[in-house]
Structure 1
């Protein structure tokens, strides 16, 4: 009442008015909400070290950074052997570091990797230096050790099988088609052989040999006409040496100082013209002459 106020009493709180009381043991007024800092904040009960503590709410955090190392990361798509890997990698790492990462993902050793990003990825430069950005595609070419072995093993096995078949293959002189001629024995008028010696072609025809039908045959080398004449009792065939595709020979088993020899007259082995009991000292000269390698003086 006005009389109580005049006597120094306090008025009861009215509507919308909050009664403020001081907490025990704390000096100074109690304020609600943020207000101006009172003078002498440290003296007003605030610890001195609180003024030096940084405000963590203002620390900057960059997107795409490693929370542990604080280094910036870049998102990559690594593509190898039709497989895709999503990788987050440090932007300041080198191409060599990336190869190690690819090794951990694929098992492909760095030495066997060809890493492509706008060309071959340089190992000594960082991803930042070569301008790798988020979402970049990194192409990797290469095969693992196991892949290489898986490819080579069947190939090597096939080669060994072929070699084994060749080893099992009968010598030509044992094959039936040749045996029927060789079983006639060495012709009586065959030219003598000199084993272990190579000679030039004689100036006379090579005679006293057999052809595949067992008839007598002679070989005449017409060098001035670049022709080989194959003569039998019935006729003489004059063949341009350039038309002969190949010449093959093999020692006759048991008579290694003589060879059986074939002239390939067409595109396949079916066109071989066989001659038996060729003296060994003339074999290389015949091949070189027909194939155009022998020089005459």
Structure 2
């Protein structure tokens, strides 16, 4: 009888292990239903990660974190299958986004060490910022469209092919935006078109003479403001350096796209 009890106890100990696959409530995420491999391109490297089609974006970002040291909170994944629609990383799965085996996702985001380095630099420049704070506050009070350099461009009127602007509406990011003026430091305004190359993580500004390709990771900040008296249109500035002189200004941008532009480039929600 003692022997029987001993055998039963041994079998009971083995059962949880042998029946792991059947314990769906506990092992749902660790049990592979549709295994796939993704290529994660980050800077000059490509990482392979093993996933499941039913993994959420949160699951995927946690795996990427272990390989790249890029915090999931600052990770931005770019791929043609991932739309500009706001998503919930905790519930959206790879299947929901139509991600398939062997697809490549572009990873944008700074590593923890890079973030720490930037933070230290910001602390070191605090004193300088405080000395210019009053002047900056004064400038902010004056609308962009009233400042001489912007007012001069706006007085030329809307480009012939300007798109219809809609105030208080937020549309998904289009592939391109026509009917704009582009102005840079010491450069006159020129007719331009914005093209969003999400698969390359680049913003292209096309003029009749050139195409300026800007990696989205180089855009530090975006300044935008509605144009007074011109409902539905905004001035948008893409800052690529540390000073105001590094801002590339875009005029007559349809206001319904501004929020999507910020979300795609800066991961703003």
After TM superposition, the score normalised by the length of structure 2 is 0.46
Q: Specify which structure has the bigger relative contact order, considering alpha-carbon pairs within 8 angstroms and separated by 6 or more residues.
A: 2
After TM superposition, the score normalised by the length of structure 1 is 0.42
Structure with higher Rg: it is 1
Q: Which has the higher helix share?
A: 2
